[in-house]
Structure 1
Amino acid sequence: MRNPSSHNIRGIVFLLVIAALCAIASREFLSARKDEPLYPSSTLKTTKRLSDYFAGIRNTRADTPVYIFEGREPGGTMLVLGGTHPNEVAGFLTTYLLVENVSVSRGRLLVIPRANHSAFTTTEPGEAQPAQFEIKTAGGMRAFRCGGRFTNPLDQWPDPEVYLHFPSGQQLSGAETRNMNRAYPGRASGDFTERAANAITALVRAEKVDLVIDLHESSPEYPVINAIVAHERAMDMAALANLSLQSEGLNFALEPSPQNFHGLTHRELGDA
């Protein structure tokens, strides 16, 4: 007859091993909630929170820093968004470079490097996407997180079968309800992603932003690639920007923002 105490010891050891493995795995998951440090340039005037413009996202993962740079001379106000889709690395890395290196002499520059802050805390299932990547810099090796295209389901769930955009009523697949670039202009009483989009729309209005640039990256098979998509009110400026790129050997297409495709920054913030 077996000693009952031996069963207890094996059970306790088994539970301790499982607890240790869970603790090791949880460190990686919890690290995704910690933002990498950024080191703003000398023309930084102040740093605000997105919740300063809409209190409905305060104390949630939708809240995120807003870096405000100001030149000595008066001028226009530009907002640059990165991290609308945190799996598009070039988009948010560009805003990191802006925050750390920009020199503003005239007007104001507002930068939100992590527009969909929640999406930085998740990844793309089934895409073999690395959790992070490293870049060697003059100051040493720096690690950056890869995020997901959609808001973390821990912050917004479940997805509806059909996503109805507010206020147009446009119908999209259910998962698009967590796509920030389908949620604009947002709404104060909406779901998590809509409230985050509403906060950015409120910022645009409160700060009297003249120009918004939303930075993205696309996979090779995507139909709109190497392109500037512009609202009709910004088409002249977009054309000048495109000519400037072409003069440096960078060939981009200039695409008009579709008037009947709602929820995107270039349509809804242009209409705001």
Structure 2
Amino acid sequence: MNEIPHLTVDLDAPGVSRGHLVVPGGADRGELSLPVFSLNKGEGPRLLVTGGNHGNELEGPLVARRLVEWLPVAQTCGRIIVLPVLNPLAVEAWSRNTPLDGLNLNRVFPGRAGGSVTERIADAVSRVLLPVADTVFDLHSFGPKWDFPPAATTHPIADPDLMARTVRMAQAFKLPLTLVWDYNDTAGMFDIVAQNQGKVFVCTEFGGGTVGADNLAIYEAGVRNAFIALGLVEGKAEYPTFRQRKSSQTLETHPYDELKSPATGIFEPRCSVLDEVKQGDLMGILHPMDSLSAESIDIRANGTSIVVAIRSGAHVHANQGVALVARPLKN
């Protein structure tokens, strides 16, 4: 038995190849085989596309499967590797974290060969697939309890050249929102590991608790736009229609831009994503439920900004995030 992560497919073989990324077994469970699609059409960009990093974000795996269907005809050069489901255990459980060890795959990169199953998945991807790609698209959808517009996101990068190239790549998706997202919880993220190796990494996000045909069409159109920008497929990039608008804006957000609940209760949103708000505007209402005599609490904007995420109505605890705002990116 091969006890190191490996591929059952030759990525250098011309044309279409299908196989698996084999993740070795450990004390907690046996070997995992993650389906991999490779299409090698010679010289050109080397792109890795992944989905299913978080198991309750299913748009990514679905769009990745669509890519497998149309790339053999559409791709004109370069090499694209598609791994539709990074964490099958979480996807099967419709869980953000892996049920077996409770870990968030997107917080354990680059992983550990002798670790738990989540760490072994991260190790296999980091050691086998990441080195053969110049660019990575990791397809997310923000999670089921939030409303979030179709977006291509990145984090601040110390290298100004890589930062500029990454933002341009994110903008090439032509999704309604390109977001440079500065926040504190980045240790062990897939994108941080890739960017530390000088690779362009774009994370797409598409919030919402259900998978809908319209949303998937926008998501797929954005990915196709990025492929066109890379020169991997031919065609004319177009802005997809989102809520009757064809537009895109590039924003940045920081840890202090997250609005948090002042108490425990049910959050009622009073604004929508991409709304512009000014200081004092009502963004939502927190309704305490532990006492009928307790008054509801207004949550208001603390300055002029644009709403990029809003809780889609949920029970929240005190100090839990209920909204996120942003402002135009400073060049």
With the shorter chain as reference, the TM-score category is 0.5 to 0.7
Show the 5 A alignment for 1:91-106.
91-102=60-71, 103-106=74-77
Show structure 2 runs of 5+ residues with no match: 1-13, 198-331
Q: Does 1:218 align with 2:165?
A: no
Q: Report the AA paired with residue 38 of structure 2.
A: I
Report how far residue 187 of structure 1 moved.
0.9
Normalising by structure 1, we get a TM-score of: 0.56
Say if 2:130 and 2:194, in contact at 8 Å, map to a contact too. no
| 8 Å contact kept, 1:61–1:117 | no
Report % sequence identity.
28
Change (3 A) 1:84 1:219: closer
Alignment correspondent of 2:108: 183
Give the alignment of 1:75-86 within 5 angstroms.
75-86=44-55
Aligned equivalents of 1:186, 1:97: Cα separation in 2: 29
Between 1 and 2, higher relative CO (CA 8 Å, sep ≥ 6) is seen in 1
TM-score of the two chains, using structure 2 as the length reference? 0.47
In the superposition, relative to structure 1, how do residues 237 and 97 fare at CA in structure 2: closer, same or farther (>3 Å)?
farther
CA distance in structure 2 between the aligned counterparts of 1:243 and 1:271, rounded to whole angstroms: 21
Task: State the 4+ residue runs in structure 1 displaced beyond 3 angstroms.
Answer: 54-57, 59-62, 219-227, 241-246, 256-260
Question: Which structure has the larger Rg?
Answer: 1
Are 1:115 and 2:95 an aligned pair? Answer: no
The C-alpha deviation readout for 1:181-236, integer Å capped at 9, x for no partner, is 11111011111100010000012355x21011111002486497543332536433
Q: Give runs of aligned pairs for residues 1-272 of structure 1, distance below 5 A.
A: 45-51=16-22, 55=24, 60=30, 62-71=32-41, 73-102=42-71, 103-122=74-93, 147-153=94-100, 156=101, 175=102, 178-206=103-131, 208-219=132-143, 222=146, 226-230=150-154, 232=157, 234-246=162-174, 250-256=175-181, 261-272=186-197
| Larger relative strand fraction | 2
Higher helix share: 1
1:3 equivalent in structure 2? none
CA distance in 1, matches of 2:188, 2:149: 19
Amino acid across the alignment from 1:116: N
